[in-house]
């Protein structure tokens, strides 16, 4: 069976794994991404880890890399990665090909996750898929007619920076009212604090550590226990998510929307208000037949998708 090395290069950590043709993770390793980024040190650690994962029966046929940033998949150059300081402009594909003696493909991290979900997810016949990752930031990717849609300048699918309120709060990109400014981790925590100030108490305050830090995960746990404020936080978050998705649904008419990232773990408490609001906003014909699911690949979605660049895209 063919295998490939999948690499998920993020601002904090780099994950690398051997993935087989069925999308199975054979073995993986994680190391800290150097900050500021050091091309030589990072490549050397990757090589060392890849060698350690290799055995004679699983020699890889190539390396796929997903990077948290804008990537030109043709020149395999990093165009702009705001959270990996010092990496911009690096022809990562060319350099790693020399270092490893293997073909290398590179793309944006959410694009590769979408590919992984498409090729290795449940075989349900979906051809038009929208992927949305919900975490510190909000990322997206589009599979149209079974192929990743990258756009003219490779920026397609940046769903987090679609404006959902012209008068809204400022986003990390500088614009006001982007979906990310309503759905990012920090905004969810702020929403909780705003409700708490108005309405009194929540069990989340007991869950917070001595430093008082609150996370979306705590708000989710509290909602599962029926905490009224936590439930309101997810209801309002779901309503904003529905505003974004309704526009995307009308534009793309997808078979399936896959939600990934940490906040997607709260999908069960958001599901009902999410659908209620989508039914209110999106065109009826665009919603019929639509499914919204969470990514089943969890934290391995990045490395599995990166390997799909080599094992599946263009290979089929
Ligand atoms: Zn933005």
In the reported structure, the alpha carbon of residue 202 is separated from the centroid of ligand 1 by a whole-number distance in angstroms of: 31
Q: Is the pLDDT of residue 56 over 80?
A: no
Q: Find the 177 Cα to ligand 1 centroid distance in Å.
A: 7
pLDDT at 55: 73
**What percent of the chain has a predicted confidence (pLDDT) above 70?**
99
**CA pair distance 128, 147, nearest whole angstrom:** 8
Cα(38) to ligand 1 centroid in Å equals 28
User: Distance, CA 130 to ligand 1 centroid (Å)?
Assistant: 18
Please report, for the chain, how many H helices and E strands are present, in that order: 11, 12
| pLDDT tens per residue across span 153-180 | 999 999 999 999 999 999 989 999 999 9
List, as one string, the DSSP characters of 35-59.
SS--HHHHHHHHHHHHHHH--GGG-
Is the pLDDT at 316 greater than 60? The verdict is no
Distance 162 CA to ligand 1 centre (A): 7
Q: Is the pLDDT of residue 187 over 70?
A: yes
* Residue 160 Cα to ligand 1 middle (Å): 6
Across the range 14-27, mean pLDDT stands at 94
- The pLDDT of 14-33, averaged and rounded, is 94
Kindly report the three-state secondary structure assignment for every residue of 97-141.
HHHHCCCEEEEEHHHHHHHHHHHHCCCCCCCCEEEEEECCCEEEE
Average pLDDT over residues 122-147: 93
Ligand 1 centroid – CA 236 distance (Å)? 19
pLDDT at 40: 96
pLDDT for position 315: 60
Residue 112, φ and ψ in degrees, nearest 5:
-70, -35
Q: Which of 43-57, 109-123, 266-280 is the least confident region? A: 43-57
* Residue 163 CA, ligand 1 centroid: distance in Å: 8
Q: Mean pLDDT across the stretch 294-298?
A: 86
Residues 4-21, mean pLDDT to the nearest whole number: 94
CA 19-24-27 angle, 5° bins: 55
């Amino acid at each position: 069976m063919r295998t490939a090395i999948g690499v998920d290069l993020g601002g904090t950590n780099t994950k690398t794994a051997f993935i087989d043709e069925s999308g199975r993770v054979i073995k993986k390793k994680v190391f800290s991404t150097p900050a500021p980024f050091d091309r030589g040190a990072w490549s050397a650690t990757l090589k060392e880890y890849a060698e350690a994962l290799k055995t004679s029966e699983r020699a890889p046929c190539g390396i796929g890399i997903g990077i948290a940033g804008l990537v030109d998949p043709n020149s395999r150059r990093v165009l702009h990665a705001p959270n990996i300081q010092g990496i911009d402009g690096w022809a990562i594909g060319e350099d790693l090909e020399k270092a490893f003696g293997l073909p290398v493909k590179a793309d944006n991290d959410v694009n590769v996750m979408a590919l992984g979900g498409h090729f290795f997810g449940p075989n349900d016949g979906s051809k038009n898929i929208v992927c949305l990752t919900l975490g510190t930031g909000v990322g997206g990717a589009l599979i149209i007619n079974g192929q990743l849609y990258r756009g003219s300048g490779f920026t397609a699918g940046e769903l987090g920076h679609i404006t959902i309120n012209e008068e809204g709060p400022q986003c990390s990109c500088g614009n006001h009212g982007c979906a990310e400014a309503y759905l990012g981790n920090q905004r969810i925590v702020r929403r909780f604090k705003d409700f708490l100030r108005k309405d009194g108490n929540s069990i989340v305050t007991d869950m917070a550590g001595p430093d008082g830090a609150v996370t979306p995960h705590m708000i989710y746990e509290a909602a599962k226990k029926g905490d009224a404020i936590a439930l309101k936080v997810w209801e309002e978050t779901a309503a904003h998510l529905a505003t974004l998705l309704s526009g995307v649904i009308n534009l793309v008419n997808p078979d399936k929307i896959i939600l990934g990232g940490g906040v997607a773990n709260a999908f069960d408490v958001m599901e009902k208000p999410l659908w209620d609001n989508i039914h209110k906003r999106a065109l009826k014909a665009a919603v019929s037949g639509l499914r919204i699911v969470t990514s089943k690949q969890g934290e391995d979605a990045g490395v599995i998708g990166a390997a799909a660049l080599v094992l599946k895209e263009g290979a089929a």
